[in-house]
Amino acid sequence: MKAFWSRFRRHKAAVAGLVVVLLVVAIAIAAPYFYPVSPWKMVQRPFLPPFANPAVPLGTDTLGRNVASGLAYGARVSLLIGTVSTLVALAVGVPIGALAGYFGGVVDDVLMRFTEFFQTVPSFALAIVLVAIFQPSLFSIIIAIAIVGWPPVARLVRGEVMAQRQREYVEAAILAGQSHLTIITRQILPNVVSPIVVLASLMVASAILLESSLSFLGLGDPSIMSWGYMIGAARTVVRQAWWLSVFPGVAILISVLALNLVGEGLAEALDPRSSRDQA
């Protein structure tokens, strides 16, 4: 763990990304303390430009709602949807990929055709259709993002498990009389964790983007304030009130970039080739 941290620290960009991610998490947690008033509530006159009033530093929107408050509460939604949908996608993708890679043959064929069935549909279109069918809500958005997100996980895990399956330690485990389930969970999966962790950090970023896109199109949960919704609501007044779309846009940009940087840092820090000299 110590060696891992020292390797991660070598990538300055990744450390900066981690700092930003932690900052966003802190803002999301602290949102109710800074802004005890609901972000949906009107607090000032509409179209107040930013930096004009210290109480509303980032200005107000078309209905006089506080933009800064919206950003803080939007961070909660983005992070929640990003992490939960990624966890659901992993919960589906890892077992399917592991089974396909471990057993091969017919099992592999069936599971991979099933996976490809989801991959052939453009993921954004599929997400829109799913959310539209199930009524936009926090739950349906998470499920929709997870459904378009799990096939790449299954593919990755399958490939990694197939490579591990060839190793002699798996044969030794079979000879020791371990069951297939024990071999997959205790022997193989611990060796596949690194690429999964890296992929997961990138998936959180893409889930945030996907949620923003859905909200922008008006397919977000109507009762929660999210970054995508803020941009979508402001698109008709871009020329009068630039700040309404720019601040949430910058928030998305920075968070996604930070998560990607962390992902890349993890990939290098967890890479066994860079760990060999430490071993």
Residues 160-189 that bind another protein (CB under 8 A): 167-169, 171-179, 182, 186-187
The size of the interface with another protein (CB under 8 A), counted in residues, is 19
Cβ distance to another protein smaller for residue 117 or 169: 169
How many CA atoms does the CB half-sphere of 166 hold within 13 Å? Answer: 5
Q: Which of 207, 201, 203 is nearest to 267 (CA)?
A: 201
x-or-dash string of contact with another protein, 248-277, rule CB under 8 A: -----------------------------x
Q: How far apart are CA 56 and CA 165, in angstroms?
A: 58
Cβ distance to another protein smaller for residue 129 or 193: 193
The dihedrals phi and psi of 66, each to the nearest 5 degrees, come to -75, 120
What per-residue string of b and e applies to 175-205 under the rule 16 or more CB within 10 Å gives b? Answer: eeeeeeeebbeebbbebbebbbebbbbbbbb
Q: Which of 48, 55, 79 is nearest to 212 (CA)?
A: 79
User: Least distance in Å: CB of 9 to another protein?
Assistant: 16
Residues 188-217 that bind another protein (CB under 8 A): 190-191
User: Least distance in Å: CB of 216 to another protein?
Assistant: 43
User: Least distance in Å: CB of 270 to another protein?
Assistant: 12
Binding stretches for another protein (CB under 8 A) = 167-169, 171-179, 182, 186-187, 190-191, 277, 279
